[in-house]
Structure 1
Amino acid sequence: MKLLPFLITALVLPFLVFSQEAEPNDAELEAITEWFHEQSWMIALCSDLPKGISISAQTFRDEEPDWYLVEVREFHTAESGYDPNVSPMVGMFRVSEDRSKILYMDVVAGEFVSVRKFIEDRNLW
């Protein structure tokens, strides 16, 4: 009977540790999203939009360890003239946990590339 608490701990602890690593808390995701919105090229992207259109980002934990996925979408109001029920994806980005690298999903190439491609393609310098 003295082994029962030890066995329960040994069986449950790995799952608790894994779930903490796999699922970042909301504050962590919000911090990445806020930091992403503060990038100069993201500010330039948001400032050059027609009336009634806004940009929003949502952050998720990536399948790759030490990376986050940031999904950037366009949102429409009725005054924009576009369908408010449609929110086209502007881009999918991968951000390293230490925020030292940002990659952009090049849908034509089918791979993540330097964010410079996104910036250059949209003249966001």
Structure 2
Amino acid sequence: MDASSYDEFGNYIGPELASSSEEEEESDYETEAVHGDMADGPDEIDQMDEHSDQEDHSGGESGGYSELTAMARRMDIAQTQVVLHEDKKYYPDAEEVFGPGVEALVQEEDTQPLTEPIIAPIKVRKFQ
């Protein structure tokens, strides 16, 4: 490696490297295979499922592959959907934890005043 081809941070600044068009086509294919077409919505996936079902009934042998493809697309869409903060559920509700017949109270404020210590001091009593 030639040190003059890199700057002080290690970034390559030398002449542009030659890459074959075959590598570019391969990387485009991999990107398409991983991400798929982002414009596909649930309706298009349902149509693809119906189409694959028709192929299955007509005696096509590619049914297993089309089912896997449709399932993979559904998983991609489920992973890329936006979930709002209000819709996220981090902890179970009290009813789910303790059951429907239990009343669970959550107190926002302390019931013990700040003037009263949590652990009372020991009182020394003298008997005379």
Q: Shorter-normalised TM-score: what interval?
A: under 0.3
Write 1 or 2 for the structure with the bigger share of strand. Answer: 1
Q: TM-score, normalised by structure 1?
A: 0.24
* Larger RCO (CA within 8 A; separation ≥ 6): 1
Write 1 or 2 for the structure with the bigger share of helix. Answer: 2
Question: Bigger radius of gyration, 1 or 2?
Answer: 2
